[in-house]
Copies of this chain bind each other. A is one copy, B any other.
């Protein structure tokens, strides 16, 4: 029994064997098909396509349910140091397991309202993160995550300053533009919507200042918005560089430097 479980785990879990790759391929294909269906569902489709979709949907949920049960069953192989029960509880509350569950659960509760169901089905896309199980992408993502982590204080501080600036701009702009455009700048929330569209340089054009003072303020905010890109980019660039340096230093520290002829230790 235990050997079967280990074998199942090798296929659905961490392994890099051929069987494991095939299994991953099937699950990923099924998720992609599901995503395409979620997108296609928003078009007006003929009824026979709808019924095909329903069949595929049902099959998918069954496969995802079996997969979930197998993962739960083999989850004590992930945390061998824990007791089987604790391993399973820990697994149930892990991020990917919750996503897996949310992706199938709504199917069994048809009373949930339609809109929510669709949104929840869209969550299945998160399951594609499984692609990152492939180690070279995991490493790359981990490396990006590490940069964000090492710079989190600088990034949080700059986001904070930008946030304060945006809220202040919005309140000031509401007071400046409200008299001229009572429909567009009808409250501070609309002004905040304008502030974000300007700071991020999206500029849909659904709301913009028309008064001279409003335009001057908007110009200042748009120019500060450049900083919104430049500062985090600078921080992240520096973070990546620092990481490269750190890795190099670590690998150099491993080598000892001695003059191989006179035996002196060479300090760098």
| Chain A residues near B (Cβ < 8 Å) | 35, 38-43, 115, 118-119, 122-123, 125-126, 128-129, 131-132, 136-137, 139-141, 143-144, 147, 153-154, 156-158, 160-161, 164, 167-168, 170-172, 174-175, 178, 186-189, 191-193, 196-198, 200-206, 208, 212, 215, 219, 222-223, 225-244, 259-262, 264-267
Contacts and interface: CB of A to CB of B under 8 A. Distances in A.
Number of copies: 4
A168 B38 CA distance: 10
A82 to B, nearest CB: 30
Mostly helix, strand, loop or mixed at chain A's interface? Answer: helix
B200 A122 contact: no
A238 B238 CA distance: 8
A248 B92 CA distance: 44
A211 to B, nearest CB: 11
A208 B192 CA distance: 15
11 contacts: A38-B171, A42-B178, A42-B187, A42-B191, A119-B171, A125-B167, A140-B153, A140-B157, A197-B202, A230-B232, A260-B267
B259 A265 contact: no
B222 A200 contact: yes
